[in-house]
Structure 1
Amino acid sequence: MAQRVMITAAAAGIGRAIALGFAATGAKVHVCDVSEDALSAFRAENPGIAASHVDLRSEGAINGWFDTALTDLGGLDVLVNNAGIKGPTALVDDINYADWRECIEVCLDSHFLCAKRAAPVMKKQKSGSIINLSSTAGQFGYGARSPYAAAKWAVIGLTKSLAIELGPYDVTCNAICPGTVRGPRMARVMEAEAKQRGVSFEKVEAEYISGQSIKRFIEADEIAGLCVFLASPAARTISGQELAIDGHTETFHLG
């Protein structure tokens, strides 16, 4: 039977690559996103994949999406919590609380709320896979990005706790920690840092890559491939892990 997959924030970027990766295996996929423009483009390019507008800061919106998607898919085998925003790029004493909260809501709270809905479905059928997108920032501190780093560290703690709770039901839960992923989102991160530090974009870009053993950007398709593997029969006993896909970070970017 084809896998039934739900993916958050998947109309563009890494999420889109993950959706296409699962669809290529024959899976039934339902994605959500907050951007109407991105959703319109996604639907036009991928008419076979269901796509819903959802603001993941709202528990009610998440519950509505699950009600629709579970009916559409006829169940759920894989949940990929991909949603995240970069949050403010500033020193802690310059960050306002509203910006802190928004980053936590999207990067952490949405993972919890989606897992809360997925867990009883997967426990009942005694199978399933939850994949949470953390970050290399969830394995190291991150100067001038404290809300983002705090959320991504917490995602790993949530993942390991879910693995303990769901393991007896043969449900796996793992965290993927991407490094510097090629694309407009990473470009915006580096642009914001360059502005905050008063240095060139090229200097920041070079610093990120220099700390890796494999000195190139990660491709979104590589993250998608890892998600597909973690949800496959070959990975049925891999759970509670934080898996970096970052070219091996030797020294984390300090900025």
Structure 2
Amino acid sequence: MEVDSVTLNNHLTEILSGVGIQWTFRSENTLIAEINKPTDIFTVFDDVLDGRLRNRLKLNNQTGSLTITNTTTEHAGDYEQMTNKLTAIFSLTVYARLPVPVISSNSSQCSSSSSSSSSSCSLVCSVVNVGHVTLSWYKGNSLLSSISVSDLSISLSLPLEVEYQDKNTYSCVLNNPISNQTQHLDISQLCHTCSDSVHCCGSTEAVIRLVLSALVGVATVILLVYDIRSRRAEQDQAQIHTSGI
């Protein structure tokens, strides 16, 4: 996992006299550490590779093992340890910390009847900026659907349809080979049935309807005022005309 430390060790208990060891980031053919046992000189080259290993390399003076601290996904790749007689290759994979999946309602409006058992609620489970993970929906302990990605920094989403009155337990799980994050579904919070014309809609649609109703009311008042003033004006004109005669 990111920020963990990892030790690349060929299980040597002691560096033999006269043996030299070189550590190379094989993925980019770059020397990152060197041990010269005859002179007891131990050197790390942590400014190479654009500094991604700076202050992160530690050499074991006795065994020659290499430790990488505070790892990130940039440190993934193949590392090679070369001695006078032996070459060992270590393949390192670093997994990012997993975010908790987010479950949201994907329905534009709720069920038209609170007693309708056939109505379904559309949900979606999503995560952003993930890589090398699998996103899955579970009903209890049973897998319903899943989607996997091997790329880095990608967004994933997985839909689910449930009944409004469903009493089963659902959960959305994000996992990689060494960890997982789970978000449980609360149907009563995300899936609402309709009890009246306002609750039948999402909050945004309800606000729009209220605004439209208010505008219609204002327009009606304006028309009434205009009609009353017009009638008074006509009456005044009629009185003036009568007085003139």
TM-score range, shorter chain: under 0.3
What TM-score results when the alignment is normalised by the length of structure 2? 0.21
Q: Which has the higher helix share?
A: 1
Q: Which has the higher contact order (CA 8 A, sep 6+)?
A: 1
Larger radius of gyration: 2
Q: Which has the higher strand share?
A: 2
